[in-house]
Structure 1
Amino acid sequence: MTTEHLLVDGYNVIHDWPEMREAMKKDVNIACQNLADRLRILHDFEGIRVTIVFDGRGEGVEILRPGNEQTFSLVYAPGNSSADEIIIQLVQISKNPNKLTVVSRDHIIRNLVREDGSKLHTPSDLLARIEACERRQSQALYRRNREVEKEWKETERDGEEVE
């Protein structure tokens, strides 16, 4: 795993991406899951730690780890807090702010991140990064499929039985 930590202002991104806004109109939980699904490739293919922070629900901070990896988290602020507050706290306590990339359009968060030395992306930057990663993954799968196909043909030529 890389040491980069992507910290995402969940609802900020959902409201910025048109397809996510549409999903949000139907069901907030589906929109949150769709966002997590889109970000999964950055975790799984690029090895980036991903934390998506959402505005409050419940009495305390709620941390969900779909897939049980410690490096992919959905964090819900308490009902009396906002995602911004949690993100600000995470940025402030980070031991390696230069390895932290924060995704948000919120001005307070952006100003803090600039001062702290963390990287900053807009939701549009994040989408472009995901799409570039999806292309790299497709290319890697295409190359791997070609290699396997070549191995199968060589095995068949050598007279070995293919299962």
Structure 2
Amino acid sequence: MQKILVDGYNLLHRAKDLREVLIENIEAARQLLIDKLISYKARRQVAITIVFDGRQVGMPLQQQVHGLTVVYSQPPQDADTVLRALICREKNRRKTLVVSSDKSVAEFAKTMNAETMLAEEFYRRFLQSAPHITVQDKYDYSLSPEELDEWLKIFNSSK
């Protein structure tokens, strides 16, 4: 299985529509990117880890969100340092794609035999026009009062 390591804020700043959200609300932009990656992951057999600089107070350093691993660096480390450590820990680096437009991160990944892709290219090719389906949208089974009444009539009439 391919592993994708994403430089979170680097990607947010490189994608125009995400950058516009980022200017208004950092949490909304982060969540939008996470949702897009979850949707991408649902369509492909890949493992994805996204790394953001600095965690917010009360947030864990790492969490799983619908199969996506979200990691926050802890000062004095930054996301680049965490990405380098994750690259080093990968057993099969040839099947690891590092998504970042940061030259130092990309060069390090290449020296470790990992694949690299510019953040803007990854976004354009895989996320920008992809359907935005969150897990909640995909499995929303809520019924209107009318639908509920109809189903109750159907099940009660069979007794």
Partner residue in 1 for 2:2:
4
Query: 1:40 offset after TM fit, Å?
Result: 1.6
Report if the CA contact (8 A) 1:38-1:130 is conserved: no
Instruction: Give the letter aligned to residue 32 of structure 2.
Output: N
Partner residue in 1 for 2:97:
101
SS at match of 1:13: helix
Report if the CA contact (8 A) 1:41-1:130 is conserved: no
Instruction: Give the letter aligned to residue 91 of structure 1.
Output: I
1:78-117 correspondence runs (5 A): 78-117=74-113
Query: 1:80 offset after TM fit, Å?
Result: 2.2
Match of 1:33 among 20, 31, 34: 31
Whole-angstrom CA distance in 2 between matches of 1:36 and 1:131:
11
Partner residue in 2 for 1:63:
62
Query: 1:92 offset after TM fit, Å?
Result: 1.1
Instruction: Give the letter aligned to residue 57 of structure 1.
Output: R
Report if the CA contact (8 A) 1:4-1:49 is conserved: yes
Query: 1:129 offset after TM fit, Å?
Result: 2.9
Whole-angstrom CA distance in 2 between matches of 1:11 and 1:132:
16
Structure 2: gaps of 5 or more residues: 132-159
Q: TM-score by structure 2 length? A: 0.74
Higher helix share: 1
Match of 1:52 among 50, 60, 63: 50
Highest RCO, 1 vs 2 (Cα 8 Å, sep ≥ 6): 2
State the superposition RMSD in angstroms. Answer: 2.3
Q: Percent identity?
A: 26
Partner residue in 1 for 2:122:
126
4+ residue runs over 4 A deviation? 58-61
Relative to 1, partners in 2 of residues 1:35 and 1:58: Cα closer, same or farther, differing over 3 Å? closer
Partner residue in 2 for 1:144:
none
Relative to 1, partners in 2 of residues 1:27 and 1:58: Cα closer, same or farther, differing over 3 Å? closer
Q: TM-score by structure 1 length? A: 0.73
Query: 1:42 offset after TM fit, Å?
Result: 2.2
SS at match of 1:117: coil
How many residue pairs get aligned? The number is 131
Instruction: Give the letter aligned to residue 128 of structure 1.
Output: R
Instruction: Give the letter aligned to residue 96 of structure 2.
Output: L
Relative to 1, partners in 2 of residues 1:58 and 1:133: Cα closer, same or farther, differing over 3 Å? closer
Instruction: Give the letter aligned to residue 129 of structure 1.
Output: R
Can you list the C-alpha shifts for 1:47-97, whole angstroms capped at 9, x where unaligned? 211111000125897112122x3xx11110113211000000011121110
